[in-house]
Structure 1
């Protein structure tokens, strides 16, 4: 089938999810005694905008792939590279049966929107995007299994072999709620306590998807690394960085505790409240924007990170 010819409704203005209320929404909610949304609660003065929506699929796809490339550049700056290992996938906004992934063997810090490869989730067939490089076979097996298991709430997946993530993974233990930030994973992360080797078969990808479960935002993979998910690539990328830093903090705390220093862990009640206020999709999208914007600025602007996008096509197999 030819590239998409679906009629797109053109809107003269870009709208923002989570910004339907006026700027005074937070203050008004407080006056009326209503429960504020997480964005209302954190915004003082004007209301912080949430996840953007776009008048056309092309504009939405461009935004997603630019932010995907910027997330990879954040990964590179954070030291999440290990040879050819690591991958991010994002479900296409127009064709939910397709996903975009990074090509095999290109450094995270060099990726642009035009580098991304488009694959059919069900079959693994490359159906569009950059066809000059292969995709990562192990990556496809992992990501496709997760996308198939959770087609409605997961639109992006991040996996990499970070140092702290690999170090903490050897204990096959979940994280403790040691600080305010890690509460984003309160009752929302799992441990895959089995090592099945490099993923060269669909079965191992399915095991990882099963370990992640139906509601978790991340999973610690024994002797392997970390995997996080999100409703946007921004969310999944921010959560990956947070999960890796949480692993590093847990390792440091365990070392101190081994010398007799007692730990103070956040209570389940407080952790649950923190999770409620900090883990909503629009808030997590906003959490990612400082690093996304930094990477775009350092790269030389949005057009640099978007390079090659105009030549990409997402094609639905006949």
Structure 2
């Protein structure tokens, strides 16, 4: 067990890693487990469902949650390692296995987009509401401008069919990092766990704002103030330039400090 250690944001785990995993993999596991706790703390989890995943450094394997654990129970060593075909490589510290839908959605993206190192999927209520809205996400808030372009994937039922993977990848496209699953929820991706969480946060916030705004105007889009595309694009570029050390790094660390103070058992 790894308790009461002082790992915060230095990324130096050489003195605290007492697992069978390399320091590099353990760091990813800690970050991902911490992010599960962040999502739970924000109230975006749903029982034992939904998934946050990350690629194991230097491999074609990815980490996801054991099927049966709440997000607030996930730990670094409970994460399950699977390959890009969905085969379990390392079951982690439980015998719970995985939810196949996690592989279908996340595996498709990780396999097709090597630039994406982390993906995060939630069913937060406002995101599902926007996913059901024919007009989709409206460019009405600064949060929506920060996200940039959004992709959409039509609903095909609960995602258990591996054949849907090709269509998910096609829907996301070669460069976008945010995907709205129609009638279902959202997926945010990143070239790091930090970036994926940053986009997830912004996308959830954007959906919350949109649902509230539409209720204020009775659903009449003509009453909304939508800035022109030039201004929106300027905001997207400006936001991307704020954090030189990497998109979402500082934001993620600020929330890491919250969950670490509350309960650092995710490091175990």
- TM-score normalised over the length of structure 1: 0.72
1:236 corresponding residue in structure 2: 196
Q: Which residue of 1 aligns with 2:157?
A: 197
Structure-2 residue corresponding to 1:83: 47
CA distance in 2, matches of 1:249, 1:288: 21
Look up the match of 2:229: 268
Q: Does 1:100 align with 2:60?
A: no
Task: Give structure 1 stretches of 5+ with no counterpart.
Answer: 1-48, 308-318
Count of aligned residue pairs for this structure pair: 250
Question: 2:250 maps to which residue?
Answer: 286
- The range that moved more, 134-143 or 271-280, is 271-280
Q: Does 1:126 align with 2:85?
A: no
Distance in 1 (CA, whole Å) between partners of 2:11 and 2:76 is 18
Give the Cα separation in 2 of the matches to 1:267 and 1:285.
29
Q: Which runs of 4+ in 1 moved over 4 A?
A: 51-57
**Kindly tell me: are residues 149 and 258 of structure 1, through their superposed partners in 2, closer, same or farther at Cα, counting changes over 3 Å?**
same
| Aligned: 1:177 with 2:139 | yes
Structure 1 SS opposite 2:54 = strand
CA drift of 1:54 comes to 8.7
Q: Secondary structure in 2 aligned to 1:113? A: coil
Contact 1:146–1:209 (8 Å) recurs in 2 = yes
TM-score normalized with structure 2 length:
0.85
Tell me the distance in 2 between the aligned counterparts of 1:290 and 1:266: 30
Q: Say whether the 8 Å CA contact 1:227–1:240 is kept in structure 2.
A: yes
Measured at CA, do residues 251 and 127 of structure 1 come closer, stay the same or move farther in structure 2, by a change above 3 Å? same
Structure 1 or 2, whichever has the larger Rg, is 1
What SS does the aligned partner of 1:229 have? strand
Q: Which residue of 62, 77, 98 corresponds with 1:135?
A: 98
Looking at structure 1, the residues matched to 195 and 12 of structure 2 have their Cα atoms a distance apart, in angstroms, of 15
> How much does 1:295 deviate?
0.9
SS at match of 2:95: coil
The equivalent residue for 1:165 is 127
- The answer to whether the 8 Å contact 2:54/2:62 transfers is yes
Verify the 8 A CA contact 1:164 1:244 in the aligned structure 2. yes
Partners of 1:179 and 1:266 within 8 A in 2: no
For residue 227 of structure 1, the aligned residue among 177, 187, 191 is 187
Whether the 8 Å CA contact 1:66–1:113 is kept in 2: the answer is: yes
1:71 aligned onto 2:8: no
Q: Distance in 2 between matches of 1:245 and 1:109?
A: 21
Instruction: Structure 2: give runs of 5+ residues left out of the alignment.
Output: 1-8
1:282 alignment partner, SS class: coil
Inter-CA distance 137–218: structure 2 relative to 1 (3 Å threshold): same
User: 1:108-166: CA deviations, max 9, x gaps?
Assistant: 01111011000111x21111251522011111011111112111x10000112111111
Deviation at 1:305, TM superposition (A): 2.1
